[in-house]
Each structure stands twice: as C-alpha cells, then as structure tokens.
Amino acid sequence: MTKVGIIIFPGSNCDRDLAEGLVSTGFSVEFIWHKNIELPNNLDILAIPGGFSFGDYLRCGAIAAKSPITDAVLRFAKGGGYLIGICNGFQVLCETGLLPGALVGNVGLKFICRQESLLVENSNSIFTSKYYFGEKIQIPIAHHDGNYIADTETIAELEGNGRVVFKYLENPNGSINNIAGVLSRNRRVLGMMPHPERAVNKIHKSNDGRSLFLSLLESFR
Amino acid sequence: MSEPCITPEVIESHGLKPNEFKKILELIGRTPTFTELGIFSAMWNEHCSYKSSKKWLRMLYSEGSQVICGPGENAGVVDIGDNQAVVFKMESHNHPSYIEPYQGAATGIGGILRDVFTMGARPIAVMNSLSFGEVKHPKTKQLVNGVVAGIGGYGNCFGVPTVGGETRFHSAYNGNCLVNAFAAGLADKDKIFYSAASGVGMKVVYVGAKTGRDGVGGATMASAEFDEFIEEKRPNVQIGDPFTEKRLMEACQELMATGAIISIQDMGAAGLTCSAVEMGDKGGLGIKLDLNKVPTREPGMSAYEMMLSESQERMLMVLNTGSESKAELIFDKWDLDFSVVGETIEEDRFIIFHNNEVKADLPLKALSGDAPEYDRAWSSTSKPKALEQLPPVNPIEGLKKLIASSNYSSKHWIWEQYDSEVQANTICSSGFPAGVVKVPNTNKALAFTSDVTPRYVKANPKEGGKQAVAEAYRNLTAVGATPLASTDNLNFGNPEKPEIMGQLVEAIQGITEAVKVLNMPIVSGNVSLYNETDGHAILPTPTIGAVGIIHNINNMIKGKVKNEYLAVLVGETVGELGQSALLAEMFDKEDGEVPKVNLEKERKNGEFIRSHTDLIEACTDCSDGGLALAIFEMATESNLGFNLFERDISFIFGEDQGRYLVGCSLDKANKLIDESVKNDVHTEIVGSFIEEKIQIGRYNSSINELTPLYKNSFENSFGK
C-alpha cells in the first residue's frame, strides 16, 4: 500500500482531514511529530497539512521551517522523494526553500474561505495525471496569506516549464498570474493553497480533489 | 509588599454593594484582606454568581431522556446514540468586545471552546450571534470589522469550523454590542470530565499559558453598565492566543485518554479564583494554593493580580496520585506550562499562600454557596403601540428595502472570513437554515442554529422568548434534523430596573414553555446583564442556540430548487405584520402585537416536514421578512427568479409562525399536499421558481437588479 507520512506541527489543523482523504482514496498514512529528527524509512510520499503550524504570528510557516524534522524533510526531497504541501504546508515548503517564491497576505487583507474554481494548467505531473489540461475544477480555499509572489525570472521559469499546475479562474488573493499551485524543478514537490482534502467525498460540495489523490496513487502502482 | 487598605471607595470600585460587604464581614468575622476582597468581588459579581437571575434560571426546563448533564457544569451534555454525546454551550463576551472588538470577540470564542473541551469533548463546530448598533453610528463599522476578524482569527487558527450564526443591527445596540459564541464538541458518553474534585491531599495542577496582568477584574467590569469612561477599561480585556489554545486542547485530550485526570476546570472569568473554588465547592473540599508555583508572564505580580487575572488558555486540574510525571511529559511535548500549585484539603477553606504569607483564608463553600441572591422587583411589559393601517406597498419595493438592508442582505462578507470547512465534515454552513456537520465514522450528522428576534422580545418578552425557541426548532427541522436540546444566552439591560427585570422573567417563562413542548431542554447557558450605556438598554436578546440530530445523512434536506419547481407554503397564514421586518425597514416602525406562537402547531408542522423529507428538495423556515424574503433567498441560492401569486401585503410579508417554505417538483408537491391533508397540516401552493424574472402579483423586476442588491449591500456598508 502506498504510504504517506503526514508531518504534524503543534498548530496543524488539517492533518486529520488530510489523513481521512488519503485513506478514503486508498493510501495508508502515518503521522510524524515535528520534534522527531528522522522519518520512518518506508514512506512513499510526505505531506505537510494545512493549519497554523506555530500560530503564524510571524511569517506563515517560518518557524515550522526551522523545526527539528526539517532536515529530514530536506534530505527526503533531495533524495527524490515526493512531497505535497497544502495551504500552510505550501507556505512551509516555500520557507524551507523546496519551492520558490513566497505567500504573503491576501490583497483584501482578510481571511477567505470559499469554493474556488481552478484551472488545471499541467496535467502531466504525477499529482495531476487524472485531470485534463485546461479542466475547470472546484476546490475550496481557506487562508489569510495565499497571495503567491516571486521575482519576474522565477515566474517566467515556472510558467515556461509547466511548473504552474493550478491557477484560479478568478483571483481571490492577488497571486501573481492567478497562481494557486506550483511544482519544484524536479516536479516531485507540489505546493498548493486550495484544500483538495475538502473536496473528496459525498458530503463535500465538490469531489474534484479526489483526482489529485488518485493521480498520485496511480503513479505508485 | 503590603496591600491597599479596605476603604469604602475600594469596596465600591470592586462592584460590591454595602449590604454585600456587610455579609462578608458576617461570614468571616473580620475585615477581609485586599486579596480576599478581590476574591469576593470576583465570585459575587453578576457574571459569576448570577445573583439577579438565579431565582428564575431554576425555572428553565432542562429535563429529557437525552440529557446526560444539564446546567451547572462547563457545558451541557446530550446523548446522540452509539455511546456518543454532543457537548455544547453558548456564552457572551459583550462588554469586552465593545471595548476591544478583536480581542474581545476572539477570547469569547476561546472561552467557549475551553468550556467544551474541558469536558473531554473535541470541538466540531462554532457559531456566533452578533448584535450591533445602527449602520450609521460612528462605532458600528469598526466593531463589525473587529469582531468578525477576531472570531475568524481565533476559530480559524484553532481549527474548528464556524458553521452558522446571525448578525443584526439596531440603534438599541449603539452603546453595547453583543457577541454570543456557541461551541459544540463530540465525546464518548462514558468519558465525560467534570469539575468536582475528589480525595483529600490530591495535587492541584496548573497547565497551559502563563498568568499575566491581562483581564484583571474583567468579570467585575462585565457586571456593570458603561459610561463615558469606558475606554479606560481597555486593560481589563484579555488577549487571546488560539495557537496556545489548540495545543492546550490536544494536550488535555492526550492526558484525558490516560485516565490521570480526576477533575478539570478551565480558567475563564475570574481565572484562578473561580476555577479553584468551583472544583472545591463541587467536590465538598477545601483548596490550598501556593502562588509562587504559578507560572507568571511578568515578575512582581501580587497575589491579588494572580487570583484575578483572566489570562487565557489556562486550566486547573486535580490529578490522580502518582500521575504528575506522566502529565508533565505530555504538556512538555506541547511546550505548555505545567505546575503543581496546590492540593485539596479536608477543611472548608480556601487558603492562598504567596511569598510565605497567607494572603487569603476564606470559607470556600461560602464563596459560591453564600453568594448574594436577589429577588429583584419586576414589572410586566406593557402592550406595544397598536399597528396602524399601512399605506399601499409595492411588494417589489418592499422586498428591495429588505434585501438591501444591513439586517437582511447576504452576509457572505462575514462568513467567508470564517473557516467553515476545516475538519472536512461540514455538510452545510452559513446561508442554510442550520449548519450541519457529519459525525466522523458514522452516518449521522448534527445540526446547529442560533436564533432570537429581539424586537419581538421587546414588544412581548414571553411570546418573544417562545418565538426564539420556535425559530430554532424550525431551522433545525428545515435541514431535516430532529431537535435535541438547547442552550440559552440571556442578554439584558440593568436588572435593578423593574422593567428590565420583567423582560428577563417573562422571556424565561416563554423559553421554558417552548422548550418543554418542543422537547428541546436547556442544558447550559449564560446570562449577561447590565448591557446599558448611559441608561439606554439593549433590546432584550435571549439567544437560543440549538442542536439537532440527523440520524441518516441521506435523509437530510439540502437540495436546491430548479426551474419550474413549485413553492409550497406549509403552515397557516393570517398575515401578522406587527413588529415585522417590513414595518421596521420600510416604515421605521416597531408597532403592533408580535406574531403568536402556537407550540402545538409548531410541533405538528415540524414533525410533518421531518417525516416527509423524501418529498422535499429545498426547505426554509419563514421568519423575518415572511414569505417574500424566504422565496427570494431560496430562488437566489439557485440563481433563479420566482413568481409569487397575487396576495395581500400581509400575506407576503407577514411573519406568522410555524411556517416553512418548501421547493419541489409538481409531482412531489402534489404528494406533499395529499399527505398534509391526511396529517391535518395546512399547505398551499404560493408560487413557482422561474428563470426569467422576479414576479410578485402584478409587479415584477429582474434577477439582475435584485441579486446584486442582496449580495453587495453588506460589503458596500462595511467592507470599504
């Protein structure tokens, strides 16, 4: 069974949701406390869930990026491991340097929680193979700091190499080029602000997040 | 360090009346120390002692086979089957929110969450009921922005979905806004934790955040009227830290699972004082505390300050002997303070040591048991001014007036600032009659609503009290939930005035009558009095928070209407325009009798809806704004228009109780009407849903004109 390690910071609050979403699509999961310095050695994928890792009173994700577990996460990524960071997890990945750019306060300076339409900009990644290019999907957002910024060259590099995987149809937060999710250079690390784990089962308003988990699952078969 | 002397000014500044101070002298046979005076003021203020309302609160109906724990604990506990329980309560944070809206509202959410997880429950939903002054009042915009950001800031970070609430505006709240926060959690029925200490010589343990000087005297402040010097009270408002609260919840849950905890009590109003006394009093024990062991945020804090601090995110617990080290490890894991600060003693004493001196030595039981209780004079509310004949109303204009008003326009600007979906169990949230959350790993769901119509309560407190319960009953029913139980948050003015006391008494009478007939016992609650500024009282606002259960989520009502669906009105309409939203928003009048609540019919109509969910696609209760607002909201949810057949204005805007608007196909509508005849429930087809326009009788308008009015008005007033 494909196994996902979910890292828990003291203020993570989407860890259980993510675990449920992953289990319901066929993964097994293991929670990893941020004070550990080693990862379990049988992990296929690492996930950093949403929440407020250390309260986010400082820059979101900044303290989490200095947690004891971070060195092990960096080693895992450098060894070619697959990683997904959702919402606060995306912010943490940017702070560790595994993904370029940064997430700053929404342009309206308010927290926004709502269903958002996304466009799939790259269906060739292991995270998005079950979508088709240009597909319009519904996935909710819930964040105060989801405004993605990076310098012009970085944006051009991301856009030019298919590293922007999701874009908002209507920009809710001011992100450059409507960017909602990006890939690392080796395309094995995905960071995204929307919450796919809130769009996986029949009680949710949309099930469009399911294809993301199923894409990932298929690539390990 | 010597303490200030006890002078009449010092006594008065502690909110203690001369007769109350006399009672203290009689109880302890000497002049209290300054710390002791602080402890008495903390325990005997209105907020903690319920001295004006206690006599009447005892009347509240709180029985039923579903009730596991009624009023008196941190929160009420209700059976939901499968050895599970829902734990919930609603509490006000009015005074602090007016003074410092962000922190006041944030700590209101923090306080109610602690009440719930103290009992061993994991929070699954929060709601809020907000009342503000009129839009044009210079303070309103700042209060709305601050309160909403504070609620979101705390709840979003803690990780609990905000699934519902209500927001109203009225000039009576210009000087006192209301922030009522509701929280609910899930626990195993046999793993509920209570506050009663047991066993002599057991360690009393302090956990959570450090104690600072914030909030000293907060509960006393919340028990007084406001005046022009209110800004000076800002230091009395506590500061919230949701990140610490989240860790505290996780650590408590871990410790609870080990069986180490005998009793637990959160430090809320009047902090260390109130929590320690509560545990001792309920357990019939005394308590000895050494304040040098209390983790403090700043040096040089006095015993008085430590005993009265309302620093947030703190808990007191009594642990089983020998489990301290196990407990300490857990709190260390979550980077929280942990300290043994005292022990239980056999004698009925509350002894406080600081720097090797006894700072207080009081009879513990007397602190809560002998708190003053008043049988305050009250007078019945007089009849409201009769309703005059209204000039002719164009119903489209009437509807426009409502949907563009701050009271009835869409509040998505507010609720989008709240995370309504964290935990991924939310089925529906704000914008629906009730918030619905799935119970993990089951096919059940719980529904939540909070309701009150203050202008009804003002005009007729008893009927208004009944109506608040009836509306909650209907909102739960409208999503297909069976009402289980409720919590009340009674917000009133100065109870020393007989007319205000009368509002409180009669509202309680109405609530009791309604919860009895509708089987929604009150299992927890809170009273907030002295909501007055310069002698002007708020509208009496007894908020009802209610919980219902959906045994099988496949049977819930959450559908939307489609083109050509019919609009079926369930329940009888006489056309009650007295105290209606139309009257208030269009004519600026609050006249006439309130709509009558027929509790038997409420129950019958509710049972009819719940037993025919298979025939009902969409459902909403008819309340403020009557049929017109109900059909507009239902149509807008599906981006449709409607055609409401020609009727009197009183039929279209009347606020008759016990009614639901149902949207369904022709085939289902016919079946539903057949069923209603069999069940002796009144139904009638009042219109249909259409694509092209909004039509009421011979008047019409376009969807494109009305929808933006409804969706943008609120943001235009408050967001820019």
Q: Where are the domains of chain A?
A: 3-218
Closest residue of chain B to A200, computed from CA coordinates? B424
CB proximity A210 to B under 8 Å: no
* Whole-angstrom distance, CA of residue A102 vs CA of residue B451: 42
pLDDT at B370: 87
- The DSSP bridge partners found for residue B67 are B78
Pairing of strands A45-48, A3-8: parallel
Pick the catalytic residue from A34, A143, A144, A195: A195
Give all strands of the β-sheet with A136-143 in edge-to-edge order: A28-33, A3-8, A45-48, A82-86, A189-192, A179-183, A164-168, A112-120, A136-143
Q: Is B93 an active-site residue? A: yes
Least CA distance to A13: which residue of chain B?
Answer: B159
**Whether B120 contacts chain A with CB within 8 A:** no
Q: What is the pLDDT of residue B4?
A: 87
pLDDT at B485 over 90: yes
Answer yes or no: do B243 and A57 touch at CB < 8 A.
yes
Pick B310 or B466 by higher pLDDT: B466
Measured in angstroms, the CA of B440 and the nearest CA of chain A are apart by 10
A135 touches chain B (CB under 8 A): no
pLDDT confidence tier of residue B49, bands split at 50, 70 and 90: confident
pLDDT confidence tier of residue B605, bands split at 50, 70 and 90? very high
Please confirm, yes or no, whether B95 is among the known catalytic residues.
no
> Average pLDDT of chain B?
95
Mean pLDDT of chain A: 97
Buried residues in B493-506 as b, exposed as e (16+ CB within 10 A): bbbebeebbbbbbb
Which residue on chain A is closest to B151 by alpha carbon?
A111
- What is the least distance, in Å, from the CA of A142 to any CA of chain B? 6
Mean pLDDT within B332-358:
96
> How far apart are alpha carbons B132 and B130 in whole angstroms?
7
**Residue B3 clears pLDDT 90, i.e. is over it:** no
Whether the predicted pLDDT of B1 surpasses 60: no
- Flag whether pLDDT at B230 surpasses 90: no
Q: Do A197 and B418 touch (CB under 8 A)?
A: no
Rg (CA), chain A: 16
Q: Is the pLDDT of residue B234 over 80?
A: no
For A198, the closest chain B residue by CA position comes to B424
Tell which A residues from 171 to 190 touch B, by Cβ distance under 8 Å. Answer: none
Buried/exposed code over B654-683 (b: 16+ C-beta within 10 A; e: otherwise): bbbbbbbbbbbeeebbeebbeebeeeebbb
pLDDT at B610 over 70: yes
B156–A52 C-beta distance less than 8 A: yes
- On chain A, the residues whose CB falls within 8 A of the CB of B239 are none
Of A11, A54, A114, the CB nearest to B416: A114
Query: Which three-class secondary structure state does DSSP give residue B106?
Result: helix
Which of B157, B415, B420 is opposite residue A52, by nearest beta carbon? B157
Indicate the residue of B422, B427, B553 with minimum beta-carbon distance to A13: B422
B399: Cβ contacts below 8 Å, ≥ 6 apart: B628, B629, B632, B694, B696, B706
Q: Is B250 in the A-facing interface, judged by CB distances under 8 Å?
A: yes
CB-based contact, A112 to chain B, within 8 Å = yes
pLDDT 10s digits, B375-420 = 999 999 999 999 999 999 999 999 999 999 999 999 999 999 999 9
A61 touches chain B (CB under 8 A): no
Among all residues of chain A, which has the CA nearest to that of B423? A17
Q: Running DSSP on this structure, what letter comes out for residue B430?
A: B
Q: Decide if A203 and B156 are in contact by the 8 Å CB cutoff.
A: no
User: Is A196's Cβ below 8 Å from some Cβ in B?
Assistant: no
Strand partners, B211: B296
Cβ-Cβ contacts under 8 Å, A14 against chain B: 159, 422, 424
Query: What pLDDT is stored for residue A70 in this prediction?
Result: 97
pLDDT digits 0-9 by tens, B208-219: 999 998 877 666
Say if the Cβ atoms of B333 and A35 lie within 8 Å.
yes
B559 touches chain A (CB under 8 A): no
Cβ distance of B157 and A11 shorter than 8 Å: yes
* Partner residue opposite A55 with nearest CB, options B243, B418, B423: B243
To the nearest whole percent, how much of chain A has pLDDT over 90?
A: 98
CB B489 within 8 A of CB B524: no
- Residue B27: left if φ>0, alpha if ψ -120 to 50, beta else—which one? alpha
pLDDT of residue B41: 92
Q: Are B204 and B318 in contact (CB under 8 A)?
A: yes
Kindly report, residue by residue over B239-274, the tens digit of the pLDDT.
899 999 999 999 999 999 999 999 999 998 788 999
Chain A contact set for B415 (CB, 8 A): 113
Query: Do residue B250 and residue A203 have CB atoms under 8 angstroms apart?
Result: no
pLDDT > 70? residue B66: yes
Query: Is residue B520 scored above 90 in pLDDT?
Result: yes
**Helix/strand/coil (H, E, C) string of B295-351?**
CECCCCCCHHHHHHCCCCCEEEEEECCCCHHHHHHHHHHCCCEEEEEEEEECCCCEE
∠ CA A8-A14-A18, rounded to 5°: 90
Supply the pLDDT for residue B716. Answer: 94
The pLDDT value recorded for residue B480 is: 98
Q: Please tell me the predicted confidence (pLDDT) of residue B231.
A: 62
Please identify among residues 174-233 of chain B the ones whose CB lies closer than 8 Å to any CB of chain A: none
B553 lies within 8 A of chain A by CB: yes
Annotate A115-140 with b (16+ C-beta within 10 A) or e (fewer).
ebebbbbbbebbbbbbbeeeeebbbb
Average pLDDT of span B462-472: 98
Residue B65: count of CB within 10 angstroms of its CB: 8
> Are A112 and B250 in contact (CB < 8 Å)?
no
Nearest to A112 among B334, B416, B438 (CB): B416
A51 shares contact with chain B (CB less than 8 Å):
yes
* Predicted pLDDT of residue B720: 66
SS in 3 state form for B152-182? HHHHHHHCCCEEEEEEEECHHHCCCCEEEEE
Q: Do A13 and B158 touch (CB under 8 A)?
A: yes
Sheet-wide strand order for B84-92: B67-69, B76-79, B84-92, B178-188, B122-132, B162-169
Q: Please check the confidence at residue B432 and state whether its pLDDT lies above 70.
A: yes
Please say whether the beta carbons of A49 and A86 come within 8 A: yes
**Which of B122, B124, B126, B157 to mutate to test binding with chain A, by most A CBs within 10 Å of its CB?**
B157
Residue A119: its pLDDT value, please?
Answer: 98
Distance from the Cα of B331 to chain A's closest Cα (Å) equals: 12
pLDDT (tens digit, 9 = 90+) per residue, A51-100?
999 999 999 999 999 999 999 999 999 999 999 999 999 999 999 999 99
CATH 3.30.470.10 corresponds to the domain A3-218: no
Q: What is the DSSP letter of B35?
A: H
* B457, two tokens: 């309560």
- Residue B228: per-residue pLDDT: 65
How far away is chain A from the Cα of B344, in angstroms, using its nearest Cα? 32
Q: Do B247 and A10 touch (CB under 8 A)?
A: yes
Reply yes or no on whether the pLDDT at B559 is more than 90: no
User: What residue of B is the nearest CA neighbor of A33?
Assistant: B333
Mean pLDDT across the stretch B698-710?
97
